[in-house]
Amino acid sequence: MAREITYIAAIMEGIHQEMSRDEDVLLIGQSVGGSPEDPFVAAFGPDRVRVTPISETAEIGMAAGAALAGKRPVVDCTMAEFLLVAMDQVVNEANRFHYMSGGRVTAPLVLKAGYGFTAGWAGQHTGSIYGMFMGVPGLKVALPSTPADAKGLMATAIRDDNPVLFLHHYLLTLETGDVPEGEHLVPFGQAAIVRPGTDVTLVATGWTVHRALEAAEELAADGVSVEVIDPRTIAPLDVDTVLASVERTGRLVLVDQATRHASVSAIIAAEVAEAGFASLRAPIVQVTALDAPIAYSKPMEDFVLPDVAKIVAGVRRAVDVTLPHDAATAVR
Amino acid sequence: MSTNSQDRVEMFRTMVRIREFEERVKRTFAEHPGVIRGHTHLADGAEASIVGSIAAIRPGDQVMATYRCHGYPIALGTDTTAMLAEIYGRSNGLCGGYGGSMHLADPERGFLGTSGIVGQSIPQATGAAYAAQIRRAGDVVLCFFGDGASKQGAFHESLNIASLWKLPIVFVMENNSYSVSVRVEQEDANAAAGEPLATKAKAYSMPGVTIDGGDPDVVYETVAEAVSRARAGEGPTLVESLVYRLSAHGNSIAPPGVPLHYPEHEAVTVFGDVAEYEAAKRGDPVPRFRGALVTGGVLDAARADAIVAEAADEMQRAVDGALAGPEPEPADALRFVHA
Amino acid sequence: MTASVHRDVSTAAPTPDVLRDLLTTMWRIRAFEERVGALKRADEVHGLIHLSIGGEGVAAAVCRQLRDGDAVYSGHRAHGHAVAKGTPLDRTMAELMGREGGLCSGMGGSMHLVDVAHGFLGATGVVGGNIPLALGSALAAKQRGTDAVAVVFFGDGAVQAGLFTESVNLATLWRLPVLLVCENNGFAEFTPRSAHTTVERVSDVVAPYPLPRTTVDGNEVGEVWSAFSELLARARAGEGPALLECLTHRLRGHYEGDPDRYREAVSTEDWQRKDPILRLQRAGHDAGWLAADEPAALEAAARAEVDEAVAWARSSPFPAVARAAALVESGGAR
């Protein structure tokens, strides 16, 4: 049975259900378990739910150590930028233990953090900084765009034996959607085709998935059929689903809230250029944030971010060009 | 708390085995050039501290340490051939050649692993202690690190939480007076003021003690007391164990093709202080403990010699076994990226 | 800067003139912050806003003893420190309203105020991130051979972050002219200090390190002034860093809109007793340096000044959007 709940409630439900299922799952962080009335403390007790000081290195390092010792900690890191305070622990410790021990130990932990809060939080709390994590070996990265995926990806993240960075988009916090009750798992590395189409493939993540869908609706009125794909996890990244779609549509537009040169879109563009060149009937178009921090003042904030109009314009650029098939097939 | 004669002889044996192991690592650079790659860090000089500390724990307890990590697994019973094969990058190595000298792990014996980055294993050990606390089996974690790590934020954050949560952990700071080539008073406000580094424990409402890390009996007694305090749920202790590293920080650092070797200690190469180093050699904890045992009638010289000979034989077998070990399959580099 | 300036460094208790100046500054901060709260509710100020109502005494007593050449760093709760250090109200308000005329042309907002001319080197949005920055300013001042100092404001929550001890160790070791001013309001974001550490007093966290440390009642302005002036004189004389812990109370929640369910509410009566402005006024009346009608006049003047600042800010346009991408790198090089 599904019912409508918010994105953030879905995430917390995912954590709650996994904590009920497996007593090794812990929840720690600066904004959890601060009082006895906290629902997680009430349900699971202070052994498994603990508020921490503002000590990011210790929080994440302790999660790694507890994981090595058999626990499965979830660390609520609040905002993605706070991970940067503890960068060594995020990208150079837990993710390497399994490998460097030749498989003798595992470090199953989840780092939950919000990102992309482009609502006047200025340059240190608004970034879409997953680009600096997605290429780190041993670290998985999930970017849910819907409440159902948020719950399902969280549950999968907790059950995964590896460190997982679970990045939830702040602008989606109170968005609602149908979420299955009970156990709900969304596999990693499996993109979702959230709207089928035939003319253009549009790939987007997080909050931009919804902007891409709005753009697709607008373009449909003009007779352009857009297929919208959400990778859902960017490490592992499901390139195959994108390649298969491009094979059908011949056109690829990539939307990303990250700065252009640290984006998922740049990686997908490179993969498709290498493995899907013969399918392309137009140059790949990237609609990303500009390579700038996020300014405080709203007009400037809007200026650097992708929006529906920019996506529509990007799709039009892609459909306005048709390369001769001969050029592409020559390299097959 | 004290150790009986048999325990003290076993402590001596383990100290000798660690020393012999480290000597063979060092000799490998000359005898088998190219076999060891990258960087190694030796425990010679810290044997008494390592052995005295680990004698104070029991099966089920856990240990985390730094990249200077050869001594602890030996004291915990890890096979020395597997350890040396790991340092030689062989597939029969303890970690299959994936980790090398700085990343030994033997979880079955409680050695959860290390970090190659200064100070970063301190929060990890603290996390293992959190797991031990809520497992409620009375297990304790020993966390080893150097004096340099106490200037890392990770130290401050972890000791605060360990004290706040009364975690069953003992922080053993091996103060060897050098962070690579920087003397402790050049980088530590307490050392510069002539104070022991254990003073730092004051900030965490935690006992802090400074001991002679060259005497395994003293180390054992101190750590055993801290361990029993931790086991009883009374929280962590900071033990500053004064040691002197008898080798340089690590082997020379050079691009591929340039033979690697062990330079002289930084006291000599950086500070020209030959007298300091010679004094440290005279205080070498291995002959010192042997002397104490022989003088005290616990061990006769012939048996002590036999222990040294046995250790030498064991390490020769380790070298032979490690050299005979096969190189890993190249494509195995893609295994274990994910669990 | 409209208020008169008294910058004599004296370890004696502040004179009536100094106290009146501090009271003026405190009213300017109070009026400014109350207006920011109202503008936030009216959506003229957006984003995350942390107000310093209740903390005016510390900001005024510390910053009014500094010069433009001294560097001040603040954190996410920065408005009061900036105003006390002399940032103009109109441009400060314009920044919070995202306008072109703002201190940072609308690029930074509440958590990223910077005014180099007045020695307000800046606010940072990540807890504790400003502490090592202040050490850098102090190092530069020392190397230039001046007697300038750096002052960094932070909350008790920052003290559990690793960079706090890293900074205390280095500042002490290098005898840097840096003053660490901790506003201990008993809460790190949403949780009480007891959930963060066993050490109640921040000054005890630096107990292992050989530097002077003092804890004062942050709502008692004269006490803050005297304690800080003594530590400041030492730092200017090259005697190194110090920590001043000011026990304060955050009258508002952690941020504007915070439902604030994690704290015991302060009763109005209790707050009347603690409020640093009311306390100073009572002391002024008792000591005879403050006439009965002066507080109302000071408040009215401050509110009028804030009215003007808001009007000025409203008249400033929103920035040209292309600047968002144009300022990413400095064009300079050496």
Residues with Cβ within 8 Å of residue A188, at least 6 apart in sequence? A140, A142, A153, A156, A157, A160, A232, A233, A236
Total domains present in chain A: 2
Give the SS3 label for residue B208. Answer: strand
Band of residue C187 on the pLDDT scale cut at 50, 70, 90: confident
Candidates C284, C331, C316, C324; CA nearest to C16 is C284
Q: What percent of chain B has pLDDT over 90?
A: 96
Evaluate whether residue A272 is within a structural domain. yes
Mutation choice for A interface testing from C43, C50, C95, C107 by most A CBs within 10 A? C107
By the 10 Å C-beta count (0-12 exposed, 13-18 middle, 19+ buried), A272 is classed as buried
Band of residue C293 on the pLDDT scale cut at 50, 70, 90: very high
The alpha carbon of residue A140 is apart from the nearest alpha carbon of chain C, in Å, by 25
Closest chain B residue to C193, measured at CA:
B164
Rounding to the nearest 10 degrees, give the CA dihedral for residues A182, A183, A184, A188.
160
- Per-residue model confidence (pLDDT) at position B339: 93
Nearest to A292 among C98, C197, C324 (CB): C324
**A175 and A207 both lie in a single domain:** no
* pLDDT for C264 beyond 80: no
Contact state of B156 with C172 under an 8 Å Cβ cutoff: no
Rounded to two decimals, the ipTM of the complex is 0.89
Domain ranges in chain B?
5-322
Alpha helices in chain C (DSSP H): 16-41, 56-63, 79-85, 89-96, 130-144, 162-173, 202-205, 221-236, 268-274, 276-287, 294-315, 323-326
User: At C266, phi and psi to the nearest 5?
Assistant: -85, 130
Q: How far is CA C63 from CA A186, C85, C125, C167, C228, in A?
A: 55, 5, 20, 21, 10
**A27 and A140 both lie in a single domain:** yes
Question: In whole angstroms, what separates CA C145 from the centre of its chain?
Answer: 26
Evaluate whether residue A96 is within a structural domain. yes
C-beta of residue A63 within 8 angstroms of C-beta of residue B60: no
C321 vs A171: CA distance, rounded Å: 22
Closest chain B residue to C128, measured at CA:
B153
Evaluate whether residue A130 is within a structural domain. yes
**A140 and A218 both lie in a single domain:** no
- Per-residue model confidence (pLDDT) at position C96: 96
* pLDDT for C259 beyond 70: no
Task: Give chain C positions within 8 Å (CB) of A303.
Answer: 321-322, 324-325
Region B62-69 average pLDDT: 97
The alpha carbon of residue A293 is apart from the nearest alpha carbon of chain C, in Å, by 7
**A236 and A130 both lie in a single domain:** no
Evaluate whether residue A187 is within a structural domain. no
**Where residue A241 sits, what CATH number does that domain have?**
3.40.50.920
* pLDDT for C2 beyond 60: no
Q: H or E segment at A40?
A: helix A39-48
Band of residue C7 on the pLDDT scale cut at 50, 70, 90: very low
**A58 and A94 both lie in a single domain:** yes
**A152 and A251 both lie in a single domain:** no
Nearest to A296 among C108, C190, C197 (CB): C108
Closest chain A residue to C125, measured at CA:
A124
A106 vs B126: CA distance, rounded Å: 17
Residue ranges in chain A modelled with pLDDT below 50: 332
Closest chain A residue to C102, measured at CA:
A297
Q: Report the neighbours of A using a cutoff of 3 or more CB pairs below 8 angstroms.
A: B, C
Q: How far is CA B225 from CA B199, B231, B236, C123, in A?
A: 19, 10, 11, 47
Give the SS3 label for residue C199. Answer: coil
B178-179 and B182-183 as β-strands: parallel, antiparallel, unpaired? antiparallel
User: What mean pLDDT is reported for chain C?
Assistant: 90
Sheet holding C242-247, edge to edge: C120-123, C71-74, C150-155, C178-184, C242-247, C213-217
C328 vs C322: CA distance, rounded Å: 11
Region B168-177 average pLDDT: 98
**A129 and A208 both lie in a single domain:** no
**A149 and A39 both lie in a single domain:** yes
C-beta of residue B168 within 8 angstroms of C-beta of residue B230: yes
| DSSP track, C18-45 | HHHHHHHHHHHHHHHHHHHHHHHHTTSS
B269 vs A137: CA distance, rounded Å: 39
Band of residue C248 on the pLDDT scale cut at 50, 70, 90: confident
C-beta of residue A52 within 8 angstroms of C-beta of residue A30: yes
The alpha carbon of residue C299 is apart from the nearest alpha carbon of chain B, in Å, by 43
Mutation choice for B interface testing from A23, A49, A99, A105 by most B CBs within 10 A? A99
The residue among A138, A159, A180 that closes a domain is A180
The residue among A150, A180, A210 that closes a domain is A180
**A84 and A16 both lie in a single domain:** yes
- Per-residue model confidence (pLDDT) at position C8: 44
pLDDT single digits (tens) C109-154 = 888 999 999 999 988 888 888 999 999 999 999 999 999 999 999 9
Largest Cα–Cα distance in chain C? 59
pLDDT single digits (tens) B223-247 = 999 999 999 999 999 999 999 999 9
Is any Cβ of chain A less than 8 angstroms from the Cβ of C325?
A: yes
Omega before residue A108 within 30° of 0, cis: no
Band of residue C332 on the pLDDT scale cut at 50, 70, 90: confident
**A267 and A300 both lie in a single domain:** yes
- Per-residue model confidence (pLDDT) at position C4: 34
Contact state of A299 with C319 under an 8 Å Cβ cutoff: yes
pLDDT single digits (tens) C61-97 = 999 999 999 999 999 899 999 999 999 999 999 999 9
Tokens of A16: 């709650």
Instruction: Please name every residue paired with B169 in a beta bridge, in sequence order, or none if there are none.
Output: B141
C-beta of residue C154 within 8 angstroms of C-beta of residue C75: yes
Q: H or E segment at A31?
A: none
Handedness of CA A166, A169, A174, A180 (dihedral sign): negative
- Per-residue model confidence (pLDDT) at position C195: 84
Closest chain C residue to A293, measured at CA:
C328
**A174 and A26 both lie in a single domain:** yes
Band of residue C188 on the pLDDT scale cut at 50, 70, 90: low
Contact state of C169 with B193 under an 8 Å Cβ cutoff: no
The alpha carbon of residue A139 is apart from the nearest alpha carbon of chain B, in Å, by 8
Is any Cβ of chain C less than 8 angstroms from the Cβ of B149?
A: no
Candidates A306, A318, A308; CA nearest to A224 is A318
For residue A262, give its domain range.
Answer: 192-329
B187 vs B198: CA distance, rounded Å: 15
Largest Cα–Cα distance in chain B? 56
Q: Look up tokens 């948020």; give the residue.
A: A150
Secondary structure percentages of chain B, helix, strand, coil, to 5: 50, 10, 40
The alpha carbon of residue C236 is apart from the nearest alpha carbon of chain B, in Å, by 20
Q: Which residues of A are marked as active site? A: 125
Evaluate whether residue A185 is within a structural domain. no
C-beta of residue C49 within 8 angstroms of C-beta of residue C256: yes
C-beta of residue B99 within 8 angstroms of C-beta of residue B37: no
Is any Cβ of chain B less than 8 angstroms from the Cβ of A34?
A: no
DSSP letter for B337, please. Answer: S
**Where residue A110 sits, what CATH number does that domain have?**
3.40.50.970
Residues with Cβ within 8 Å of residue C56, at least 6 apart in sequence? C25, C26, C29, C30, C80, C84, C276, C277
Tokens of C235: 């730092």
DSSP letter for C182, please. Answer: E
Q: Report the neighbours of B using a cutoff of 3 or more CB pairs below 8 angstroms.
A: A, C
C217 vs C61: CA distance, rounded Å: 12
The alpha carbon of residue B219 is apart from the nearest alpha carbon of chain C, in Å, by 24
Nearest to A66 among B103, B130, B338 (CB): B130
Tokens of A19: 């904590």
Q: Rg for chain B (alpha carbons), in Å?
A: 19
pLDDT single digits (tens) B82-101 = 999 999 999 999 999 999 99
pLDDT single digits (tens) B114-132 = 999 999 999 999 999 999 9
What domains lie within chain C, and their CATH numbers? Answer: 23-310 (3.40.50.970)
The CATH T-level fold of domain B5-322 is Rossmann fold (3.40.50)
Nearest to C328 among A85, A292, A303 (CB): A292
A-contacting residues in B 115-144 (Cβ below 8 Å): 115, 117, 120-135
Q: H or E segment at B25?
A: helix B5-31
Nearest to A88 among B106, B113, B117 (CB): B117
Task: Give chain C positions within 8 Å (CB) of B189.
Answer: 168-170, 172-173, 209-211
**A144 and A212 both lie in a single domain:** no
Q: H or E segment at A305?
A: none
Helices and strands (DSSP H and E) totals, chain A:
12, 14
Closest chain B residue to C195, measured at CA:
B164
C294 vs A137: CA distance, rounded Å: 67
Task: Give chain B positions within 8 Å (CB) of A106.
Answer: 339
Nearest to C165 among B156, B163, B201 (CB): B156
Q: How many CB pairs under 8 A join A and B?
A: 149
Contact state of C160 with A53 under an 8 Å Cβ cutoff: yes
Q: How many CB atoms lie within 10 A of CB C7?
A: 10
Q: How far is CA A208 from CA A131, A204, B22, C174, in A?
A: 16, 6, 57, 49
